[in-house]
Amino acid sequence: QQQVRQSPQSLTVWEGETAILNCSYENSAFDYFPWYQQFPGEGPALLIAIRSVSDKKEDGRFTIFFNKREKKLSLHITDSQPGDSATYFCAANNNNNAPRFGAGTKLSVKP
Amino acid sequence: GALVYQYPRRTICKSGTSMRMECQAVGFQATSVAWYRQSPQKTFELIALSTVNSAIKYEQNFTQEKFPISHPNLSFSSMTVLNAYLEDRGLYLCGARSGTGPERLFFGHGTKLSVL
């Protein structure tokens, strides 16, 4: 089932820095890529998503860069805040299927 | 807004017994419900995708005989873990969405299953 891979497994940045989380996938049929944010004790919540027809999606401090040819994407969090400390999951799906999740990147933002 | 409730939040069952968990969608019609298991060392394992008026699609390594799912209407789904053993421990998450396209899933907090 591991069709989506994420790196690094964990990441620590200082407040104000840009955190970069990487994701790659295998199935070229995937065309929708949501990123979910999960805090301890809670279920994951959609943060931002991109469709394969786009190469960039921006929402405030969160930006997805997408490279269809290389089957890679990344989530950039600019001006990182301690409140951004969470685990981030990259997912991928297509049509009416359920998304496949990566193993997650645990982000820690130090004040 | 759209919310998904799961209950119980936590449960403990004896090895070999069964445990039923429920998922309630509020504020939207849950046309599709995906059940996942999140183990401590692993990512989300997709168990099955249930779409109202369609057959439930189970993933490899998960069967209806072990994880029977009910999705009787657009606001409710339940899943039972039959004959639970240690390897079934984990956080069971329900993700629901309206429509059948790849739109966002709304997740509940999950049901944490411990097996003694």
Transcribe B30-99 into DSSP letters. Answer: -SEEEEEEE-TTS-EEEEEEEETTS--EEPTT--TTTS-EEEEETTEEEEEE-S--GGG-EEEEEEEESS
Residue B110: pLDDT band with limits 50, 70, 90: very high
Do A103 and B42 make contact, defined as CB atoms within 8 angstroms? Answer: yes
Domain map (residue ranges) of chain A: 4-92
Say yes or no: B49 contacts chain A, CB-CB below 8 A.
Answer: yes
Whether residue B52 is predicted with pLDDT greater than 90 in this model: the reply is no
Q: Let me know: does A105 contact A6? Beta carbons within 8 Å.
A: yes
Residues 6+ apart with CB under 8 A from B16: B83, B84, B85
Say yes or no: A98 contacts chain B, CB-CB below 8 A.
Answer: yes
Name chain A contacts of B56, Cβ cutoff 8 Å.
none
Do A103 and B43 make contact, defined as CB atoms within 8 angstroms? Answer: yes
CA distance A74 to chain B (A): 18
Whether residue B36 is predicted with pLDDT greater than 90 in this model: the reply is yes
Predicted local distance difference test score (pLDDT) of residue A1: 52
Residue B39: pLDDT band with limits 50, 70, 90: confident
Do A97 and B102 make contact, defined as CB atoms within 8 angstroms? Answer: yes
Predicted local distance difference test score (pLDDT) of residue A23: 98
Name chain B contacts of A46, Cβ cutoff 8 Å.
104-106
A54-84: pLDDT as tens digits: 999 999 999 999 999 999 999 999 999 999 9
Q: Let me know: does B23 contact B78? Beta carbons within 8 Å.
A: yes
Q: What is the arithmetic mean of pLDDT over B9-18?
A: 95
B87: domain range? 3-115
Interface test with B, best of A97, A100, A106 (most B CBs within 10 A): A97
**Coil, strand or helix: which one is A53?**
coil
Q: How many CA atoms, within 13 angstroms, populate the side-chain half-sphere of residue A87?
A: 20
Q: How many domains does chain B have?
A: 1
Percent of chain B exceeding pLDDT 70 equals 95
Residue A84 is given by DSSP the state G
Instruction: Out of A44, A93, A94, name the one closest to residue B107 (CB).
Output: A44
Predicted local distance difference test score (pLDDT) of residue B43: 78
CB contacts < 8 A, A to B, total: 57
Residue B42: pLDDT band with limits 50, 70, 90: low
Positions in chain A whose pLDDT score sits under 50: none
Instruction: Out of A1, A32, A98, name the one closest to residue B34 (CB).
Output: A98
Q: What is the CATH number of the domain that holds B15?
A: 2.60.40.10
Predicted local distance difference test score (pLDDT) of residue B102: 64
Q: Which two tokens stand for residue B20?
A: 């039923």
Whether residue B1 is predicted with pLDDT greater than 80 in this model: the reply is no
The answer as to CATH 2.60.40.10 being correct for domain A4-92 is: yes
Q: Let me know: does A108 contact A10? Beta carbons within 8 Å.
A: yes
Predicted local distance difference test score (pLDDT) of residue A97: 86
CA angle B72, B77, B83 (to 5 degrees): 110
Name chain A contacts of B110, Cβ cutoff 8 Å.
43
Say yes or no: B43 contacts chain A, CB-CB below 8 A.
Answer: yes
Whether residue B101 is predicted with pLDDT greater than 70 in this model: the reply is no
Using CA of residue A98, residue B92, residue B17, residue B115, what is the dihedral sign?
Answer: positive
Predicted local distance difference test score (pLDDT) of residue A27: 92
CA angle B4, B89, B71 (to 5 degrees): 35
Alpha-carbon span B82 to B42, nearest angstrom: 21
